[in-house]
Amino acid sequence: MKSFVTGAAVTLGLLLAPLAGSTLASAAPAPDSSTSPAAHQPTTEARQHDITKAGEAFMGWRQPTTAAGPAVMSTTASVEGIDVSSHQGNVDWAAQWNAGKRFAYSKATEGNYYSNPYFAQQYNGSYNVGMIRGAYHFATPNDSSGANQANYFVDRGGAWSRDGRTLPGALDIEYNPYGATCYGLSASSMVSWIRDFLNTYKSRTGRDAVIYTNLDWWSRCTGNSTAFNSTNPLWVARYASAPGTLPGGWPFHTIWQYSSTPIDQDRFNGDQTRLVALANG
C-alpha cells in the first residue's frame, strides 16, 4: 500500500523495551552497479499502482487475478502486523503499536540495484517500539542469480540474529512490475532460482527464509512447485476473508497478508509465543 496513516503516539514508558545487546540496522550501503536501475521501466499497470521507477516495487503491488479457492483452516490465535516499504517513508511506530501491531516486515532491497532509503528508520523503529521485526527482499530473477540477490539482501539489512525479536528474512517473489509476469523464466528455471536464493540465504544466516507469494503467481510461474513446503514458512497474499487455497502444497500458512488498507495488513498464524519461536529459530 502506498499511503500511510499516522495516529497519536504513545509514551515510550508504556512500550515494551527492546532486548539489550541486539544489533540494530545502520544506514544501508550504497547499491552496487551490477544492474542499472535505469533498465527497469515500470509497466503501465505498475505505474497505476504508483511504481514509477526501479526500486519502488512493494509486497502485493498487484492483487491476484484468479478466483480464490475455499478457506483454509487456521489456528484461533493470531498476532497482527504490517509490512512497509519506501512508500511509507518514516513510519510512526508508536501509533502502530497503539493500534495493536506486534510485528513488522520492512523492505530492505530489490534485485541487485536498490536499497530502501527508509529501511533503518523502519527496521530499527519497529524494534525500538517493542515489535518483532524482519526484512524482506523484492526479487527480480531476470537480473542476476538467486545467490547474488541473497547476498545483496543479507549485506543490506536482511541478516538474522537470535535475539528473540528478529524474524528470518523474507523472499518476496511475485508479479514483475517491469515486464513479463514470470520474468522470462520457465517454471523449472524459476524453481532453480528460488532454490539458489534460499540455499544462499541459509548458508549466510543459518535460517530458512520465509517465502511471500500468492496462489496465482506461484501456479503460473513455478508450476505450483511443492519443493519448499517442508522447509520454508509461507507468507500468503490474499485480500479476502480467508487465506484460501494455499500454493505449492503448503499444509498451512505462517503469515497471511489480508489487506492493503490503510497499509499492508498481516496476520501471524499462531499466538505471540509461536511468533517468538519463529524469531528464535
Cell of 99: 493500534
For 125, residues 6+ apart whose C-beta sits below 8 A from its C-beta are: 90, 91, 93
**Other C-beta atoms lying within 10 Å of the C-beta of residue 278:** 19
Which of the residues 143, 174, 208, 264 is marked catalytic? 174
**Other C-beta atoms lying within 10 Å of the C-beta of residue 163:** 16
216 is catalytic: no
Q: Which single residue is written with the C-alpha cell 526501479? A: 54
| Helix, strand, coil % in the chain, rounded to nearest 5 | 30, 15, 55
Residue 185 to residue 195: CA distance in whole angstroms: 14
Residue 233 to residue 3: CA distance in whole angstroms: 28
Which of the residues 83, 143, 208, 264 is marked catalytic? 83
Which of the residues 172, 208, 216, 264 is marked catalytic? 172
**DSSP tally for the chain: helices H, then strands E:** 7, 9
SS3 for 14? helix
Residues in the chain: 281
124: left (phi over 0), alpha (psi -120 to 50) or beta: alpha
Alpha helices by DSSP H, listed for the chain, are 44-48, 93-98, 119-128, 146-153, 187-205, 215-222, 272-280
> Is the preceding peptide bond at 262 cis, omega within 30 degrees of 0?
yes
174 is catalytic: yes
Task: Choose among 224, 25, 46: nearest CA to 138.
Answer: 46
143 is catalytic: no
Residues carrying an active site annotation: 83, 172, 174
